[in-house]
Chains A and B, each alone.
Chain A
Amino acid sequence: TQLLEQSPQFLSIQEGENLTVYCNSSSVFSSLQWYRQEPGEGPVLLVTVVTGGEVKKLKRLTFQFGDARKDSSLHITAAQPGDTGLYLCAPGGDNFNKFYFGSGTKLNVKP
């Protein structure tokens, strides 16, 4: 069962551009996590959002949790080549034994 849909699947942009990627579901989650996976490495947790409408900032990355806690977005300002990677979202919380990751957005930032 795929609970989370991520879009776009692929994104290739120039250094300095802004971008937004999305994580959507028809289910309500108690929390949602974003991870980044660089080529050849394991995913690294970026942030957990918990409250509906919550906005969290991590340097140039802004994460938002939808008011209804069904969706989330990640906005990157002035993207850099170091932002290149696969961005994954996953539901957190105690309701899920299986961690269903979205299929991910593969981001390539060209210098």
Chain B
Amino acid sequence: NAGVMQNPRHLVRRRGQEARLRCSPMKGHSHVYWYRQLPEEGLKFMVYLQKENIIDESGMPKERFSAEFPKEGPSILRIQQVVRGDSAAYFCASSPRVAGDVRLNEQFFGPGTRLTVL
């Protein structure tokens, strides 16, 4: 998927544990988006980050979920005290997103992390 890396591909957690999902954007991309997808449903926006900044987290649940995109290293989506309802596929996308050129707002997706909460 165009160079966006996500790991792990599959993650199993028991209720109450923490889940950490990692996303390395494409080279040269400084914008990262996280989405959640339930089976047979579309993609739901969660959060949009640039390096060291959360730009829009309006799609994130207010509790237990957090995201970061540090100056160095991958973006991390962290889910604390997971519950069964958190089971889903989580996708990360990156974009070069330069203002003024709509084509550069195209997103490139990773293969996703499938989280299963037992």
Contact = CB atoms under 8 A, between A and B. Distances in A.
A86 B4 CA distance: 20
Contact of B59 (A45, A94, A98): A98
B52 interface: no
Interface string B35-64: 100001111010010000001101100000
Interface stretch (A14-22, A52-60, A75-83, A100-108): A100-108
20 contacts: A31-B102, A33-B106, A35-B109, A42-B91, A43-B109, A44-B1, A45-B106, A45-B107, A48-B103, A48-B106, A50-B102, A86-B42, A88-B43, A92-B105, A94-B99, A97-B48, A98-B45, A99-B93, A104-B42, A106-B40
Interface of A: 30-31, 33, 35, 41-45, 48, 50, 86, 88, 90, 92-94, 97-104, 106
Contacts of B109: 35, 42-44
B112 A41 contact: yes
B103 A50 contact: yes
Contact of A94 (B48, B93, B105, B106): B105
Main secondary structure of the interface of A (DSSP, over half): loop
Contacts of B4: 42
Contacts of B105: 31, 92-94
